Amino acid sequence: LEGTADHAGSVEIDRTFLHVDMDAFFASVEIRDNPALEGRPVAVGGSRPNRGVITAANYIARRYGLRAGMTSLEARRRCPHAVFLPVEGAKYTYVSAQIMAALERFSPEVRPLSIDEASLEITGCLKLYGSPEKLGRSLKDMIRSRFRLPCTVGIGPNRLVAKMGANLGKPDGLKVIGAGEAAEIFAPLPVDRMIGIGGSTARALYSLGINTLGQLGAAPEKLLKSCFGVYGPVMAKLARGEWSGGMRRDEERSPVEKSMGHQRTFGEPLSEPGALRGKLVALAEMVARRVRRAGMQGRVLTLTVRYTDFRTVSHQTRLPEPTDDEEDIILHGWMLFDEVYDIGSNVRLLGLSLGSLRPRAGACPQIDLFDSHVRLKRRLLYRALDDLRDRFGERVIARAMGMRWEPRGRDRPGGDPLETLMR
């Protein structure tokens, strides 16, 4: 049996992962349901001429520069003949749940990553199909015939390489990257194409003369560590397609990130404090879920508010202890909001991120004896919610407060957020 031996002397077989990414998912669903849209530039969101933002655009619309997050006004200026459709969230969620369930035909280990992406371990399924290419092709054919939707599939020796393969194979492609091939394939790509390297980090790398992933993978560890701390050598490994997680199933983790966050751009500007706090609840859920999935905890919470006049304000606070508990994130997020928000101003974007991340196993928070029962109940609740979302996707369940907030009494955070949310 070929494979690698772990420190206990057992043999771990080579593993193979598949990443499926639905192409321009929202727009593709709309085109499927209305064949008259075929061959035309289609944008979902921004259906009002002077308000709102684009949520998704098909590849024809992208040729004109349309992209997610663009204002409706700018999108119509760039492509006045595009078809602009309202967002049908319930429909997309339903189709996504159907697709995620169908993927279990190809692997019992399906991990939904978002409404339009999933990661599958296919190590034990390859004998049934003969090769990764044949399995990937069969999966694409199934989605095309059953759901009449295009998707791109990436296959690799770890989840990172499989995801990068899907990115490189778009649209409607199949990209297989074998063990040992990733470094050569990634080498000519600009550094900002790598998962986990954002704009500010990419600019810092460019200033050092590190422009491609090949250059990053070959950069001196001492240089990277002096400029980026412990994350520097991690980036070099990612650039070579190396992911230390996943050697044993119980140790698999996502690539290290310095912070994890989410942001939301509103089609209609919001100014009601209660409604904005409700949006923060939804963001806190997503941030906490992402941090728990990575097996991390964080201690620095950052809130970003962007107004309709494009003023952007960010404020952060250091939490009493590292956390992955969304109730902690909600409470402190509300406190930051009270400090930052310019009452009465229209808000276009809210962002929330958790930084100073560390592995959960090394974080050992001190739990008050009188508080431990509540925290245990929360932990069990989060585990159940995470299991549901792993199986059916991120949007299968959410707090009503995260979808619509109605103020009660004093319009400020107070008491236990869990009690507030569950009443």
Q: Residue 23: left if φ>0, alpha if ψ -120 to 50, beta else—which one?
A: beta
Q: Which of 220, 197, 198 is nearest to 208 (CA)?
A: 220
How far, in Å, CA of 131 to CA of 176, rounded? 10
Here the tokens at position 297 are: 């905890």
Say whether 151 sits in a helix, a strand or coil: strand
How far, in Å, CA of 53 to CA of 110, rounded? 32
Handedness of CA 108, 109, 115, 117 (dihedral sign): negative
Interior angle at CA 22, CA 96 and CA 167, nearest 5 = 140
Handedness of CA 367, 370, 371, 377 (dihedral sign): positive
Pair 54, 67: CB distance under 8 Å: yes
Pair 156, 162: CB distance under 8 Å: yes
Pair 278, 405: CB distance under 8 Å: yes
How far, in Å, CA of 168 to CA of 158, rounded? 16
**CA 292 vs CA 57, 288, 298, 320, 322: distances in Å:** 31, 6, 10, 18, 12
Pair 349, 266: CB distance under 8 Å: yes
Here the tokens at position 188 are: 């000519």
Catalytic residue among 30, 117, 257, 326: 117
Q: Catalytic residue at 117?
A: yes
Say whether 98 sits in a helix, a strand or coil: helix
CB atoms within 10 A of CB 248: 12
Say whether 304 sits in a helix, a strand or coil: strand
Residues forming the active site: 117
